[in-house]
Chains A and B, each alone.
Chain A
Amino acid sequence: MNVEAVLEAVEHWARMDGNDWQTGLSPENVRLGQQLAAEAIQNGAFRPLPDAPRHLVIWCASNVFTAPLEWVAQFAAAGSRITLKAPSNCPAPVFAMAEAFSSFEVQAHRAPHDKALSLLEDADAVLGFGSNQAMNVLEAHLRPETARSLHGSRASLAIVEANTIEKVAEGLYLDASAYDSRGCMSPIAVFCLGDAHALKRALFDQWATQDALPLGALSLAEQAHRSRRIGTAKMLHPSNHHAGHRDPREIVVPVEDFESFGLPRLLPIHPIDSLDQLDFLQGGPWSSCATNLPHEALQDFGFHRICQPGQLQRPPLNRLHDGVDVLERLCAKPT
């Protein structure tokens, strides 16, 4: 394994100027993403992969531009040839990754989905990220003997108790601000035992006075959905009006108003009296959960990772991804 050269490539990519990558994120948030992704690799341990695929195709999504990095690093270290299919609407970070790993066999391709499917023809393994629909299309085009790990849409949550509120708010601020709340490790909602309004005020302070991560560009649909949800929150509770703060990023709304899709930098806080109110979450498409409760209390919800607030966007290397040992799955030999 050529870990040292891989770490150099990771460092190279993390130091690149990503301002022109058109991720839609603010420059500060791009830098944070590069830093978080690189740190996870630099602080993790590489697993030996004796059965690594000769040719791995990674189908990349646009919502979290750093997502391919950990997999490129591990499979490049194991000697795989890697083909990166860049997302059509944000290819630059993927091409930059190929450039950073130019001393390895890493190539980036940009083509519309239907044309890019030909990239799969000689793949021994395919790692896919994207919408459920895109993953279904991918699955349908794979040869039976191709190893695969395909990851559709997931979301994360926070379930917290309103004590040590400043610490919780500080952590949730990072969790919800990184990548502008896009991606499966961003919390789409907070369920709060105790004083939800106190948590809201603490989050307001984080965003209003300590915001080091400016919000990036939003699509019109995101703007329209934010407007609807903020408007609804204002109708439901006067605390959702902020004097001099016209664009609230944290709203308190009843648990009945939970919506299963997230919006950039909008963190709905749902007050709850007990965890029993959250039975409806069981079996949902969840990735991770941030909590300051004992982790055992959340075992039944189906989260693949439970961590402290502030750690959602810092997944460790070699974790199970969506409950799957991706490395093992992609190294599987055909039977």
Chain B
Amino acid sequence: MKHETLTFLQRCMSVEPSPDEVARFEKTLLQWQHANIPGMQRFLGPRLGNSDILLRPVPAPLFSRFEFCAGPPTVRFRTSGTTTGVRGVHSLPDTEAYDLSIRAGVDRLPLSLPLQHTLTLCPHATEFPDSSLAHMIQVLCPDAVPGFSKSGGVNLKLCWDHLKETKEALFLPATALSLATLLETGDHCDLPRGSVVMITGGYKGQHRSIPETGLHQATQKQLGANLFIIREYGMTELSSQLWDWGEGYRAPPWLRVFTKHTDSAGIGQLCFVDLANWGSCMAVETHDLGRVQGDLVELHGRIPGMQARGCSLVAEEAEQ
């Protein structure tokens, strides 16, 4: 199944698959996961209906207690280790499809990321080997300069020195709360044309929340008007990401987004079918709210009353 998945993803990079093709692959993968991943069979029951996974995606909190993995895992990504929450674990037989999905997702962006010159305000893989966000940055830009550490949070001096000295277009991936911390110093610079700031993670931490529009305006004001801001949405339990380059979040064709319990305004509980999760769990139900309109996805925050999670909380904890 791994080989078939890699082939499917590679084909998606050159040819947009038809909805029928995607649906056929979903069905094949569902049957395979039901037969080969014990956790999936336990969740879905002994007999598999045609559309079971669409009606019953696996709730993300189950990842904190049960393993969904084809064979012994070689990698375990964990959700943010907040002081209050139990960590969810996404176990994988390997990261080949995961890594391909990351690269293929970035290749689909209508702009080129200057990955060879990266300063990262995200958790770094050396300090956070079980962070899926750190892994993504590591896959995209292995030589990234770490501007964030577990012990000190955002290294403000290092970051501002780096930002002011850079002569080439820069890629600055950051969690929303880390970026806010950087900008709160009031310092500024003018990043070279072609620079890209990637914002990920929630805008609400456990101790503070920041207005999204205000953060974007401050970024343009303090880092230069020539840069481009893109937003990324990912979660530990998925191998694929949504990207927003100014029009709204878009998912790649191998990541289907739908909502459950959708209200009259079209807003409901976000669910994903991620075909790159071939060796774990292809369908995941989140505690996030969203609206799916055509190929655009709007994010509407957490379901009221549900606990916050996400990589921004790591940044917040490091600052405490």
Residues of A within 8 A of B (CB): 218-221, 223-224, 227-228, 231-232, 234-235, 238, 241, 243, 246
Least Cβ distance of B42 to chain A in Å?
A: 5
Cβ–Cβ < 8 Å partners of A241 in chain B: 45-46
Instruction: Look across to chain B and name the residue whose beta carbon is closest to the beta carbon of A242.
Output: B45
Set B58, B260, B306: member contacting A221, Cβ < 8 A: B306
Cβ–Cβ < 8 Å partners of A227 in chain B: 59, 285
Q: How far is the CA of A243 from the CA of B49 in the complex (A)?
A: 10
Q: Which of B2-10, B13-21, B61-69, B112-120 contacts A (4 or more CB under 8 A)?
A: B61-69
Q: Which among A218, A224, A243 has the greatest number of chain B C-beta atoms within 10 A? A: A224
Q: How far is the CA of A235 from the CA of B41 in the complex (A)?
A: 9
Q: How far is the CA of A317 from the CA of B45 in the complex (A)?
A: 47
Known: A220-B269, A223-B261, A228-B62. A235 touches B42 (CB 8 A): yes
Asked whether, in the complex, the Cβ of B304 is within 8 Å of the Cβ of A234, the reply is no
Cβ–Cβ < 8 Å partners of A228 in chain B: 59, 61-62
Asked whether, in the complex, the Cβ of B39 is within 8 Å of the Cβ of A220, the reply is no
Asked whether, in the complex, the Cβ of B45 is within 8 Å of the Cβ of A234, the reply is yes
Does B229 make an interface contact (CB < 8 A)? no
Least Cβ distance of B313 to chain A in Å?
A: 19
A-B contact pairs, 26 of them (CB 8 A): A219-B304, A220-B261, A220-B269, A220-B289, A220-B303, A221-B304, A223-B261, A223-B269, A224-B269, A224-B287, A224-B303, A227-B59, A228-B59, A228-B62, A231-B43, A231-B58, A232-B65, A235-B39, A235-B42, A235-B65, A235-B66, A238-B42, A238-B46, A241-B45, A241-B46, A246-B56
Asked whether, in the complex, the Cβ of A246 is within 8 Å of the Cβ of B55, the reply is yes
Does B47 make an interface contact (CB < 8 A)? yes
Q: Which of B238-276 contact A (CB under 8 A)?
A: 260-261, 268-269
Least Cβ distance of A130 to chain B in Å?
A: 16
Set B42, B46, B306: member contacting A224, Cβ < 8 A: B306
Does B305 make an interface contact (CB < 8 A)? yes
Known: A220-B261, A220-B289. A234 touches B43 (CB 8 A): yes
Cβ–Cβ < 8 Å partners of A218 in chain B: 261
Asked whether, in the complex, the Cβ of B305 is within 8 Å of the Cβ of A232, the reply is no
